[in-house]
Structure 1
Amino acid sequence: MGYEMGIAVLVSVLHTNELPEQDRFESWHEFTSRSVLPVTVRNTSRGDFQASLQIGDFGPVKVSRISTPGLETVRGERLVRRSDPESYQMYVQLDGETVLSQHGREALLSPGDLMIFDSSSPYHGVTLPAPGASSGTCLIAQFPYIRSPFPRNVVDRIAARRVTATSGIAAVAVHHLVGLAAHAAECTPRDANRLGGVTLDLLGAWLSHELEEFADASPDSQRRVMEVRMHDYVRQHLGDPGLSPQSIASAHGVSIRYLYKVFQEQGLTVAAYIRERRLERCRRDLADPDLRTRSVQAIASKWGFTDPAQFSRAFRRTFGMTPTDCRHHAVQKMTRGGHT
């Protein structure tokens, strides 16, 4: 069979050369749609379909390394309506070239380039191997919208925009993802949970940088830069119980009215945004086995919740389970993963 499961981190692998030739393309399509994102594909290469896919499960983040011959990928409106994981995909080109389009924009990615796109909007991609090569290779880091420090309508401003990742935080992010893909099978489930959190923080920092760079170049740059900085300020001060609309406005030298207007334009309230980000941090810590001796209330306090009853109600309303049940579920999942 062409499928393998790692005994440490959950690593799923498919090599089409281990399958009967007549089954290779369909098997790869089915496995990719089920494990990464439902798409329609067309083999644009000639001859045998030689491809591979490796997926490492790092808790909230999945990192996939994909090698294919010439391939056209389409995610249309019908597939979006039928199946949507509501997630972002950070796409890194390793070799060959890929043309990706979404939101009316098109990006040509060469080795060392990256971009971000989202699962809730149709997109179209064409992969082209380098001249003389049989395949092109990319990495995809996938994580839920809710784990992003920015609302979707903010992140969508930079979707399908090419970023050259040869220096700065983009280069750091790419090297990190390459390392995750290369060493996923060597990590324990406990490692995977920690690395997933680190990866989310790194991708959040990269998003902050790119959004601010893009805002600087836009016609209403001053407002957009301020907006990105406000979101980043919240992300960095979640543990402060005094974090409030007043403290955010004061830190940025703007009025409360202006602050509310910025968030309202994104369909958010300031309080709801702060609460959602805090709850996500709490859920992440509750799933961390190294923090299982720390009480639920200690974790809640670390992220700015001062009322235990209010925290418990908000957590259950958001995630459909109590904080204690969330911790038990994470332990059970990790135990099963460690004995796969």
Structure 2
Amino acid sequence: MQLTYSTFDSRPSERRRAWQRAIADIYFPLELAFPGTRVFEGTLDAWTLGPVSISRNCSNGVLYRRHEQHLLEEQDENYLVTVPELAEVRFVQDGRDVSCSPGGFLIERSHLPYEFSHRDPASLWVLKVPNAVLEARIRRPERLATLRFDARSGAGALFVDMLRLAVARISEFDAASRHLIGNQLVELLAAAVAADERLLMGSSTSVRNAHLCRAEAVIRSRLADPQLSPQSVADACGISLRYLQQIFEAENTTVGGQIRAQRLALCDERLRDPRFRGSISEIAYECGFSDQAQFSRNYRARFGCTPRQTRAEAQRGC
């Protein structure tokens, strides 16, 4: 589905208000300030690809503010991955101030106040990713906020290229294919940021972080195995169970909790994916749950609804 907004559809005196409504519809509520006195011009196009959306935002200079009051009624956290094509942008959140020029991208978190601005006319690509989708691939994705990443080479460049190409060819794909492409974009994003040393900074030593990354990779690769346990993860990493537990405790979680969280995230992704036609019990089994009742309880506790409700909602959206 594509949504298109243009200020040229509004009278000059109404354009700023119309732009604010369009921004709220595509992203979330924000306060806008418009520098200068010139008549505002902007176009905003958005496309849905399964769990994520892509937008192209072209406008004169704007200052966007996300305030505490905007967060009061917001339940679902999202991340905006912003790729400037034209002009430098500035982002301020949680006491950090970062600028990003064409050739890079930065990440904004919806559940904290922030300011985002560009003084000159700008063209931006924006990928909106729900927290649950990103969290299934990147541990503690809140660490990404305010970081600027290189998009000139490697996985970062491939991520941006695919972002543009997905929109250019989106009319050729059905709902199932768009869902697949959306997930592949998130996989590329994860690949682009995962190797960044800034994500490994914390209380753990580099050796502990290396073991942590290895353990998380083992968990992701073996989610379908109902026998996956903290001991088997420790064995695969060549470390003791107690040492593995200490590593995860330093991250305020447990090995078993991480296994369960990754399985639930994978189940949720498949329940929302129109390509997966299997039953709910088959999805649970394929993700390593051997007890469907236990799976349903854990799923409802994590997502606030039953697997059947999620499946029904996904089918209505097709």
**TM-score of the two chains, using structure 1 as the length reference:** 0.83
Cα distance in 1, alignment partners of residues 307 and 235 from structure 2 = 33
Distance 1:305 1:207, change over 3 A: farther
* SS at structure 1 position matched to 2:22: helix
Cα distance in 2, alignment partners of residues 136 and 247 from structure 1 = 51
Matched with 2:194 is 208
Moved more, 218-227 or 160-169: 218-227
Matched with 1:242 is 227
| Candidates 76, 82, 95, aligned match of 2:67 | 76
Matched with 1:113 is 104
Asked if the contact 1:88–1:144 (Cα under 8 Å) also holds between the matched residues in 2, the reply is yes
Asked if the contact 1:84–1:120 (Cα under 8 Å) also holds between the matched residues in 2, the reply is no
Cα distance in 1, alignment partners of residues 166 and 254 from structure 2 = 36
* SS at structure 1 position matched to 2:91: strand
Matched with 2:292 is 308
Shift of 1:216: 7.2
Matched with 1:43 is 34
Matched with 2:113 is 122
Shift of 1:94: 1.4
Over residues 248-280 of structure 1, what are the superposed CA-to-partner deviations in whole Å (9 max), with x where a residue is unaligned? 222333332333333333332322222222122
Matched with 1:55 is 46
Shift of 1:233: 3.2
Asked if the contact 1:216–1:225 (Cα under 8 Å) also holds between the matched residues in 2, the reply is no
Cα distance in 1, alignment partners of residues 195 and 162 from structure 2 = 17
| Candidates 21, 42, 49, aligned match of 1:30 | 21
| Candidates 237, 244, 254, aligned match of 2:239 | 254
1:226 paired to 2:211: yes
User: What amino acid is the match of 1:298?
Assistant: E
Distance 1:317 1:216, change over 3 A: closer
Over residues 272-328 of structure 1, what are the superposed CA-to-partner deviations in whole Å (9 max), with x where a residue is unaligned? 222222122122223333321x23333222211122332233334433444344323
Shift of 1:222: 3.2
* SS at structure 1 position matched to 2:226: coil
Cα distance in 2, alignment partners of residues 84 and 329 from structure 1 = 17
Cα distance in 2, alignment partners of residues 18 and 218 from structure 1 = 53
Matched with 1:263 is 248
* SS at structure 2 position matched to 1:143: strand
Aligned length: 318
User: What amino acid is the match of 1:49?
Assistant: F
| Candidates 188, 191, 209, aligned match of 2:177 | 191
Asked if the contact 2:52–2:128 (Cα under 8 Å) also holds between the matched residues in 1, the reply is yes
Shift of 1:18: 1.8
Cα distance in 1, alignment partners of residues 79 and 24 from structure 2 = 15
Moved more, 157-166 or 322-331: 322-331
Asked if the contact 2:57–2:125 (Cα under 8 Å) also holds between the matched residues in 1, the reply is yes
Q: What is the percent sequence identity of the aligned residues? A: 30
Asked if the contact 1:112–1:165 (Cα under 8 Å) also holds between the matched residues in 2, the reply is yes
Over residues 210-240 of structure 1, what are the superposed CA-to-partner deviations in whole Å (9 max), with x where a residue is unaligned? 3x56437999433334333433332233223
Shift of 1:25: 0.9
1:290 paired to 2:270: no
Cα distance in 1, alignment partners of residues 190 and 199 from structure 2 = 15
Cα distance in 1, alignment partners of residues 143 and 302 from structure 2 = 27
Over residues 69-113 of structure 1, what are the superposed CA-to-partner deviations in whole Å (9 max), with x where a residue is unaligned? 111122123323343531122111111110112232222111121
Cα distance in 2, alignment partners of residues 25 and 206 from structure 1 = 35
1:330 paired to 2:281: no
For structure 2, the residue ranges without an aligned partner over 5 or more in a row are: none
Asked if the contact 2:159–2:188 (Cα under 8 Å) also holds between the matched residues in 1, the reply is yes
* SS at structure 2 position matched to 1:22: helix
Distance 1:267 1:150, change over 3 A: farther
* SS at structure 2 position matched to 1:55: strand
1:299 paired to 2:283: yes
Matched with 1:274 is 259
Matched with 1:319 is 303
